[in-house]
Structure 1
Amino acid sequence: MLQRRFPLLAALALTFLLASGAQAADIVRLATTTSTYNSGLLDYLLPKFEQDHPYQVQVIPVGTGKALRLGRDGDVDVVLTHAPGAEKAFVDAGYGVEPHGVMYNDFVIVGPADDPAGIEGGDDATRAFATLADEGATFISRGDDSGTEKKENHLWQDAGTTPDFEGYRSAGQGMGAVLNMASELQGYTLTDRGTWLAMKDKLDLEIMVEGDKALFNPYQVILVNPERHEGLNTQGARALAEWLISDEGQDLIDAFRLNDKVLFHASAGEKVDPSAAVQEND
């Protein structure tokens, strides 16, 4: 009896391992920005993708810099990010393949309603940043190598200033945490519009500056190069990327609303004008 039991246990163990391996092969690891996660967009999109495809998407929400490093190291299968310069370098270095524009929104500068720095109502982000530095205003930076921080750093450079003034704080946190911090400290920050719209009702902040083409914010999906790493789920990653830029995926992105506000605009296959930033009252 005992001799007959061991082959049965071995068969069960083998079945479990094979089943586990099959399940693991169906997972697509997506590194993406906190904006696509905090806004609720992925919670809206991914169940629709998974419903019609034999894949489960595992989302790793981090800053764009960290997402691209995860791709470089082969720790994810695909990235969805929003830093064109860093994405180009990622592809040019051979870490990423098959980049596709997916959507865009824009950044806005937000701050306290009493606006101690006096920047409210402007549409020149560079001038606003120069004023924030001159006034020594409280400014909360992501400080996490995200696409938002990369945009912020470009604006400081364009303003001809170094962000070392008294009120500057580098949080090393995601967008949601930084918005909460700015609200608590009654300071200013740069945020993508999607996360702002998702959180604004819980914040004691207002939009100060918007509509500048310098605040344009495009997103790309990029596959991690399978020639660089073994074991990537490239088939699943490609299925996800192709679905995002398909008519179905693009229509769903355009249809996504929060409090009747548009958060993202589908842009696959389009050459989008950077001046297409959307005013909140549109």
Structure 2
Amino acid sequence: MRRLCVTTAVMAVLLSLTACGGSGQAAGPSAEKSLILATTTSTQDSGLLDELLPAFTADTGWHVKPVAVGSGQAIELGRRGEADVLLVHSPRAEEEFVAEGTAGERRLVMHNDFVLVGPADDPAGIRGVPAADAMGRIAAARAGFVSRGDESGTHAREKQLWEANGIVPSGQWYRSTGQGMGATLRVASETSAYTLTDRATYLSQKGNLALEVLNEGDTALLNIYHVIEMTKRAGDRVRPDGAKAFADWITGPRAQKMIGEFGADEPLFVPDAGKDESALGN
């Protein structure tokens, strides 16, 4: 039922976009320069898209219709030719997708990190231990854990951490929301449970949460974002010119500067365009 609800929500967004333009593009004078960006809820919930997209439009004339879903769903929209460009953070799934041959160039954009958050009294005792060990302690204590459960990049990383312990989480202590990061954080806060979150979304909402960062800094928690251009091989509706314009811009100097400066109290993302990805986190 959860999968059906998520799929229905995504389709509702896409149908509304199609209704505006007949082929997934906006109607009227801007239709010639309108593109669909499939991205993650973390870029929306953190407020980053609100900063970047108006600047992109001002610089290029391209208007963007963002569809914020989990990385897995964003990749699926690209696979079906229902998005022009992707901004996602699930490297393993991205590499598999690009290998299929319908996507174009995949470029490094930025990173931040995942953190494990939970109640201040930390009933599972996860402070100061490796991230995989922390997950093992949560499971052993049957402490409450709230998962996004939506095949997002965050959910994918969570599953990798469980797998490192040989754990298949189940039972009343483990809850799946099937929702984005902001909603999942709120559920974890309301139930005094642990969850895995990207740091940016947590910091943007921590004033309303009864959760603390309890586990951080492990290389297993590195959170890397890439932009992926789609091609006509994915479908006739794809705008590769718009995809390239967005990818060029977000990896260019103005966007990279904006990314590095985003965040009121501390930067929420680190700009990485042009860097050696293998050196990140070192």
Bucket of the pairwise TM-score, normalised by the shorter protein: 0.7 to 0.9
Cα-to-partner distance string for 1:44-78 (whole Å, 9 max, x where unaligned): 11111111212111100000000000000011100
Q: 1:184 to 1:20 in 2, by over 3 A?
A: closer
TM-score, normalising length from structure 2?
Answer: 0.88
What SS class does the counterpart of residue 45 from structure 1 fall into? helix
Q: Which residue of 2 aligns with 1:157?
A: 163
Q: How does 1:64-83 map to 2 (within 5 A)?
A: 64-83=71-90
Q: Which residue of 2 aligns with 1:32?
A: 39
- Deviation at 1:38? 0.5
Letter in 2 for 1:61: A
Q: How does 1:248-267 map to 2 (within 5 A)?
A: 248-258=254-264, 260-267=265-272
Q: Which residue of 1 aligns with 2:211?
A: 205
Cα-to-partner distance string for 1:146-168 (whole Å, 9 max, x where unaligned): 00000000000002211114300
> Is 2:223 the partner of 1:217?
yes
State the alpha-carbon separation in 1 of the partners of residues 134 and 233 from structure 2. Answer: 45
State the alpha-carbon separation in 2 of the partners of residues 33 and 227 from structure 1. Answer: 23
State the alpha-carbon separation in 2 of the partners of residues 214 and 203 from structure 1. Answer: 25
The worse-fitting range, judged by mean Cα deviation, of 102-111 and 91-100 is 91-100
> Is 2:251 the partner of 1:241?
no
**Percent identity of equivalent pairs:** 47
What SS class does the counterpart of residue 183 from structure 2 fall into? helix
TM-score, normalising length from structure 1?
Answer: 0.88
Letter in 1 for 2:50: D
Letter in 2 for 1:48: A
- Deviation at 1:123? 4.2
- Deviation at 1:234? 1.4
Q: Which of 63, 81, 90 does residue 70 from structure 2 map onto?
A: 63
> Is 2:194 the partner of 1:185?
no
Q: 1:20 to 1:119 in 2, by over 3 A?
A: closer
Q: After TM superposition, where is structure 1 displaced by more than 2 Å over at least 4 residues in a row?
A: 19-25, 272-276
Cα-to-partner distance string for 1:144-192 (whole Å, 9 max, x where unaligned): 0000000000000002211114300011010000000000000000000
> Is 2:134 the partner of 1:128?
yes
- Deviation at 1:124? 0.7
State the alpha-carbon separation in 2 of the partners of residues 46 and 275 from structure 1. Answer: 27
The worse-fitting range, judged by mean Cα deviation, of 19-28 and 218-227 is 19-28
Cα-to-partner distance string for 1:93-134 (whole Å, 9 max, x where unaligned): 0121110000000000000011111112x1410000000000
Kept after mapping to 1: 8 A contact 2:103/2:234: no
CA-atom RMSD, angstroms?
A: 1.5
Q: Which residue of 1 aligns with 2:176?
A: 170
Q: Which of 144, 151, 157 does residue 150 from structure 2 map onto?
A: 144
- Deviation at 1:208? 0.8
Q: Which residue of 2 aligns with 1:101?
A: 108
Letter in 2 for 1:99: R
Letter in 2 for 1:44: E
- Deviation at 1:22? 4.5
- Deviation at 1:225? 2.0
State the alpha-carbon separation in 2 of the partners of residues 56 and 274 from structure 1. Answer: 32
Letter in 2 for 1:267: D
Cα-to-partner distance string for 1:225-281 (whole Å, 9 max, x where unaligned): 2223112221111111100011111111111123x21100000111143435xxxxx
Q: Tell me the number of residue pairs that the alignment of Structure 1 and Structure 2 aligns.
A: 257
Q: Which of 253, 265, 269 does residue 274 from structure 2 map onto?
A: 269
State the alpha-carbon separation in 1 of the partners of residues 27 and 262 from structure 2. Answer: 35
Larger Rg: 1
State the alpha-carbon separation in 2 of the partners of residues 20 and 159 from structure 1. Answer: 51
State the alpha-carbon separation in 2 of the partners of residues 228 and 175 from structure 1. Answer: 28
Letter in 1 for 2:204: A
